[in-house]
Structure 1
């Protein structure tokens, strides 16, 4: 058995916990180990927060002042067998050249900055990460993690 879902969300801060709770609920139902669930939900939160902050084009609001189509992002999660894959796709300008690539042990800039560490955190929490630009259509963050299951899980995916 596998579990798959996709959300189309507005670029609003309130959308981040919604995506996180849905992922946590699916993994709890499947019997995924809580430590693995936590790592994936934190990585998802970072990817969503990045899409909310950077994932839109200037002037993306519609005539009523609300977010238009390019003011949205998509989250897709696949739990299949012993692997989970998550993709967060936005419609913004994409990643600047210096923002993608392997993270270094010490992030550039002050240690106590409030932002700028999310992509590195995703790399630390997931087993495999891919950052892609889609010229003129936004960015995609996708990451995979091998799953472990609780003993006696009712809905084991493998």
Structure 2
């Protein structure tokens, strides 16, 4: 995705549309979409300036289903997270990092990590609940 503000609602709409088509419970879809928005906004704000010039204006979003679990990963080419953020399972509620805290609260598992010289990665997953008419419901 282009590292610009307009990409955040685009990523969110793509995820929500896919979740609705698959038959994921709307509350779960909403939680995942808010978490994705926060991760993308973080990549837009902080994700540039890495050592890879070609990726300086982009960040990457990957989402996939593994049975009843959805995993989302957002990678950027920025300077990475401060070491204290990577060391904690849950980020603090300091002046910065509230979006990371929100991601942690809305997901079942979250991981913040750095790729030295190549940026940061936020990955999070959530167990899915399905609507009765779900196309991809796992029994």
Distance 1:58 1:142 in 2: 19
User: For the residues of structure 1 that align with 2:136 and 2:6, how far apart are their CA atoms?
Assistant: 31
Aligned residues: 137
Superposed, 1:9-20 pairs within 5 Å as 9-20=1-12
Provide the rounded CA distance (Å) in 1 between the counterparts of 2:115 and 2:50. Answer: 17
1:72 aligns to what SS in structure 2? Answer: coil
Task: Return 5+ residue gaps in structure 2 as ranges.
Answer: none
- What are the superposed Cα offsets for residues 55-111 of structure 1, whole Å, 9 maximum, x if unpaired? 0007988xxxxxx5322100000023211000000000100123331336x7234xx
Q: What pairs with 1:101-140 in structure 2 (closer than 5 Å)?
A: 101-103=88-90, 107-109=93-95, 115-140=96-121
The structure that has the greater radius of gyration is: 1
**Unaligned residue ranges in structure 1 (runs of 5+):** 1-8, 62-67, 110-114
Query: Given the two structures, how large is their TM-score scaled by the length of structure 2?
Result: 0.90
> Which structure features the higher share of strand residues?
1
Pairs within 5 Å for 1:57-96: 57=49, 68-96=54-82
